[in-house]
Amino acid sequence: MQTRTAKVALLAERAQTVKKYGTATPRYWGLEAPGVQLRTAARNAIALTFDCCGGPGGSRVDRDLLDFLERHDVAATFFLNYRWLHANKRTARRLITNPLFEIANHGSAHRPMSVNGKSAYGIAGTRDVGACFDEVSINQEYLAGLLPKPPRYFRPGTAFFDDVAVEVTRSMGLLAAGFSVNGDGGATFPAPTVAAQVSKAVAGDIVIAHANHPSAGTADGIKTAVPVLRRRGLGFIRLSDAAPAPPSNL
């Protein structure tokens, strides 16, 4: 539970953020906004990331995938949405208590991060800076109460950001996470496509996939790709295990 003082501090931070960024005009909308981390600096490892989106149709658990990662010591980062967390408290605990996994913030209402209501894939984005702040902070506060340390990374629903929303995220002390390899096409790819996509990854890549669609091809594709990548001498890391790649946009 938040104390009254913490609530007041959060409201003050929200007001300050709205004041600072409320009149800024975004210039970019998409998956690779300036300041979004797309790759890591790891020289021999890949960062697998799995979103758990929540909401209607998105609140399930791919147990087959989790069992595989645990059994084969495959480190990964899980981006957990507030709605998914509430629907899956026991699985959330399983992920949180396993040091193999890093927990990151996948938003409160699972909205694309826009300061002016732009949408992505038919999902309405946050309507203004205050809504951006809430999209990060509600889930961040909740996760901070569950974890020994608050999450370091935020990836919004759909992974879409505008450049001002990235600044808002960073001003809140979080790193904006993107990806360089689309592993499961929003949990729509069949297993052979997932296997082919993920097997193409090279050192430093951040792979995005999902852990909330047990009927998708994700688990079987990952099971095929992991040994392929290991045979190429690549390991698996959590996002915090490596510095961000030094891309032109950071």
Interface residues with Zn ion (CB under 5 A) are 51, 53, 157
Nearer to Zn ion, 21 or 79 (CB): 79
Radius of gyration of the chain (CA): 17
In the complex, residue closest to Zn ion by CB: 53
Closest CB to Zn ion among 26 and 157? 157
Question: Least Å distance between CB 37 and Zn ion?
Answer: 17
CB of 106 to Zn ion, least distance (A): 6
Residue 245 has which token pair?
A: 């790649």
Cβ distance to Zn ion smaller for residue 17 or 77: 77
User: What's the full length of the chain, in residues?
Assistant: 250
Q: How far is the CB of 122 from Zn ion (least distance, A)?
A: 13
Nearer to Zn ion, 80 or 168 (CB): 80
Pick between residue 110 and residue 229 the one whose CB is nearest to Zn ion. 110
Phi, psi (5° rounding) for residue 163? -65, -30
Terminal CA-to-CA distance of the chain, rounded, Å?
35
Q: What are the φ/ψ torsions at residue 175 (nearest 5 degrees)?
A: -95, 135
Closest CB 132 distance from Zn ion, rounded Å: 16
* Cβ atoms < 10 Å from Cβ of 7: 12
Least gap, CB of 208 to Zn ion (angstroms): 9
* Alpha-helical segments (H) within the chain: 4-21, 63-71, 82-87, 89-96, 129-146, 163-171, 191-199, 218-231
